[in-house]
Amino acid sequence: MPRRIRLVYSKDYAVDIGNHVFPTSKYNRIRERLLKESPFRNDIEIVTPDAACEKDVLAVHEPAYLDKLKKGTLNKDEILRLELPYSRELVRASLICCGGTILAARIAMEDKIGIHIGGGFHHAFPDHGEGFCVLNDIAISISCMINNNIIKKALIIDCDLHQGNGTASIFTSRPDVFTFSIHQENNYPFFKPRSTLDIGLHDRASDKEYLKALYENVPKIISSFKPEFLLYVAGADPYKEDRIGGLALTKEGLRKRDVFIYSQAKSYSLPVAVVLAGGYAINEEDTVDIHYNTVVSGLSEFYPPSQNTTGVSPWMNATRCFGGCHAEAGRRIPPPLDLRSKSGGGKERDHGRKPVGFHAN
Ligand SMILES: [Zn+2]
């Protein structure tokens, strides 16, 4: 019996942003590779998220900012700060991406790991986007879970090369969310709002230095903070051949990083949701490799070869948020939903719903 391993992805993430350092094509390339050559290819089911609902987005972002995004009324400075060309497709993709990270969190609560082939837009603030990040899917997902009483405390481990300034700012003075960012100190963002714990590494820091910092800090954070949920921001840009990064990690070092985070989650029985975040290698194939390894390492940790998945709850077929849309706010276990379709391994499932929360006017 094939196992059912759900990975979250949307073809709409491949937004045309012109000649840009951010390769929006990477998501599809990762998906294709996973379905073609990963050891889990026969068990993978790609699930397509809906756009996050407005209520969940507004739990983090200012209504005026969301309104500008939807109406296309960002001013020139706001678009410059975003460092992406504005389009309705971009906004739509960003809203779907937020739905995707919420969905990955739901899957993590059910299956212990939920992987989003997307997400990780940690530079988005409540009232503006910056650094290629329109909406902060990380903060939206965590807020959604806490606001719906799914969890009380969450840990965000942000291993993207860049400091998670938006996420740090959103959760500043929030005792129920621990934000940990390990990044290159001498890089964007040049003003770094304080995370609960920041580790700023020097230029060209190696695998050894990077891993040492993780090994020393992550177990201490988990054992003292006692989170109920982990969101892992698995950026590929600490790679030594990244075009905008200045650390010097190898692919093997990044693989060890991933394996360590997963092993920590597993040993503390922490459900883990994974988002991919940045990756701008000189050779795009390297970025795809690193993200692919992140997914395969996670699945290998939580779906060892002998394990068979049974008894998947039907409510997990939902593609929407924890609260409001399908579940009563405050319920720990959302009510069952009908099984609309049950596809086999390696298939894609798109519920064909129109995204909510985006109004093209
Ligand atoms: Zn980055």
pLDDT tens per residue, range 117-129: 999 999 999 999 9
CA distances from 104 to 67, 137, 148, 191, 293 (A): 26, 11, 16, 30, 18
CA 184 – ligand 1 centroid, Å: 10
CA 122 – ligand 1 centroid, Å: 9
Q: Give the contacts of 188 (CB within 8 A, at least 6 positions apart).
A: 131, 162, 244
Can you give the pLDDT at residue 312? 41
As given in the structure block, the two tokens for residue 264 are 């920590």
Q: Are 137 and 60 in contact (CB under 8 A)?
A: no
Q: How many CB atoms lie within 10 A of CB 176?
A: 14
Can you give the pLDDT at residue 1? 53
Can you give the pLDDT at residue 304? 83
Q: In angstroms, how far apart are the furthest CA atoms of the chain?
A: 55
CA 191 – ligand 1 centroid, Å: 15
CA 242 – ligand 1 centroid, Å: 10
The conformation of residue 43, written as its DSSP 8-state character, comes to T
Q: How far apart are CA 338 and CA 316, in angstroms?
A: 10
Burial class (CB in 10 A: 0-12, 13-18, 19+), 308: exposed
CATH number of 5-349: 3.40.800.20
Supply the angle between the helices 88-111 and 137-147 in degrees, to the nearest 10: 50
- Of 13, 262, 258, the C-alpha closest to 118 is 13
Strand partners, 34: none
Q: Give the contacts of 80 (CB within 8 A, at least 6 positions apart).
A: none
CA 258 – ligand 1 centroid, Å: 16
CA 235 – ligand 1 centroid, Å: 6
- Can you give the pTM of this predicted structure? 0.86
Q: How far apart are CA 221 and CA 64, in angstroms?
A: 36
Q: How far apart are CA 208 and CA 206, in angstroms?
A: 5
CA 100 – ligand 1 centroid, Å: 19
Q: How far apart are CA 118 and CA 349, in angstroms?
A: 17
CA 175 – ligand 1 centroid, Å: 25
- Of 186, 192, 114, 190, the C-alpha closest to 150 is 114
CA 277 – ligand 1 centroid, Å: 7
CA distances from 38 to 266, 269, 292 (A): 22, 25, 9
Can you give the pLDDT at residue 3? 78
Q: Give the contacts of 48 (CB within 8 A, at least 6 positions apart).
A: 8, 9, 10, 11, 319, 348, 349, 350, 351
pLDDT 10s digit of each residue in the chain, 361 long? 557 999 999 999 999 998 899 989 999 999 999 999 999 999 999 999 999 999 999 999 999 999 999 999 999 999 999 999 999 999 999 999 999 999 999 999 999 999 999 999 999 999 999 999 999 999 999 999 999 999 999 999 999 999 999 999 999 999 999 999 999 999 999 999 999 999 999 999 999 999 999 999 999 999 999 999 999 999 999 999 999 999 999 999 999 999 999 999 999 999 999 999 999 999 999 999 999 999 999 999 999 875 544 444 333 444 445 554 533 333 333 333 333 333 333 444 433 333 323 233 3
The separation between CA 103 and the C-alpha centre of its own chain, rounded to angstroms, equals 10
Q: Give the contacts of 19 (CB within 8 A, at least 6 positions apart).
A: none
Q: Are 119 and 276 in contact (CB under 8 A)?
A: yes
Model pLDDT for residues 41-100, shown as the tens digit of each residue: 999 999 999 999 999 999 999 999 999 999 999 999 999 999 999 999 999 999 999 999
Neighbours of ion ligand 1 (CB under 5 A): 160-162, 235, 237, 278
CA 224 – ligand 1 centroid, Å: 28
Phi, psi (deg, nearest 5) at residue 115: -110, 130
Burial class (CB in 10 A: 0-12, 13-18, 19+), 361: exposed
Strands 272-275 and 44-47: unpaired
CA 238 – ligand 1 centroid, Å: 8
CA 239 – ligand 1 centroid, Å: 11
CA 261 – ligand 1 centroid, Å: 18
CA 338 – ligand 1 centroid, Å: 39
